[in-house]
């Protein structure tokens, strides 16, 4: 599972990096075409918006893979190592439960999407990233829990 987790992390970074690069290129081209040729690229803003949506969800998944999601780190830093790991496991379980609850509505809402104005593509293709990244996030958190439990066992063996 950790190998799959590592592969997913690389894909998330690669896609995110590619999208940031494409956003830069498309925005720059649109500026050049608009101000120098008086012919803006009509579809570029729409594509840039789509890339931002994907970057947001991919970034959230990547951050969860590092177990760096938002939590009460001030309090966690003051806990003992053992209690810190237990609380982190509980946080991950609660987040998994939340995503499992949200997943069906994310899938269901895709069917209500319309057609994009400039590119005339089905918006369901763009917003499919939501349930996809929910599933990836759940996988990352399961791996994080397994790592925390394994570390806990290693700590217990070292204390003996």
Mean pLDDT computed over 126-140: 94
Residue 160 pairs in a beta bridge with: none
Does residue 131 contact residue 106 with C-beta atoms inside 8 Å? yes
Task: Return the percent helix, strand and coil in the chain, to nearest 5.
Answer: 80, 0, 20
| Residue 158 pLDDT | 44
Read off the pLDDT of residues 32-70 as tens digits, 9 standing for 90 and up: 999 999 999 989 999 999 999 999 999 999 988 887 666
What total number of domains does the chain contain? 1
| Residue 159 pLDDT | 46
| Residue 65 pLDDT | 87
Cβ-based burial of 66 (10 A; exposed 0-12, middle 13-18, buried ≥19): exposed
Dihedral sign computed on CA atoms, order 104, 124, 67, 12: positive
More confident residue, 112 or 132: 132
More confident residue, 74 or 42: 42
Kindly report the average pLDDT of the chain as a whole number.
87
Mean pLDDT computed over 76-82: 81
Closest CA to 30 of 49, 11, 12, 15: 49
Q: What residue numbers bound the domain in which 91 lies?
A: 2-159
Does residue 134 contact residue 96 with C-beta atoms inside 8 Å? no
Closest CA to 61 of 158, 140, 151, 150: 140
């Amino acid at each position: 599972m950790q190998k799959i987790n590592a592969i997913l992390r690389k894909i998330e970074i690669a896609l995110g990096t590619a999208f940031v690069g494409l956003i830069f290129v498309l925005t720059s081209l649109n500026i050049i075409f608009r101000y120098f040729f008086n012919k803006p690229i009509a579809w570029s803003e729409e594509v840039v918006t789509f890339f931002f949506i994907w970057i947001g969800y991919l970034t959230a998944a990547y951050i969860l893979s590092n177990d760096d999601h938002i939590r009460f780190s001030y309090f966690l830093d003051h806990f003992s190592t053992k209690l810190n790991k237990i609380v982190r496991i509980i946080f991950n379980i609660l987040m998994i439960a939340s995503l499992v609850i949200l997943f069906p509505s994310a899938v269901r809402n895709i069917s209500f999407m319309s057609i994009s104005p400039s590119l005339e593509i089905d918006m369901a293709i763009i917003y499919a990233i939501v349930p996809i990244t929910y599933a990836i996030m759940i996988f990352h958190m399961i791996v994080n829990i397994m790592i925390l439990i394994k570390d806990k066992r290693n700590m217990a063996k070292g204390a003996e």
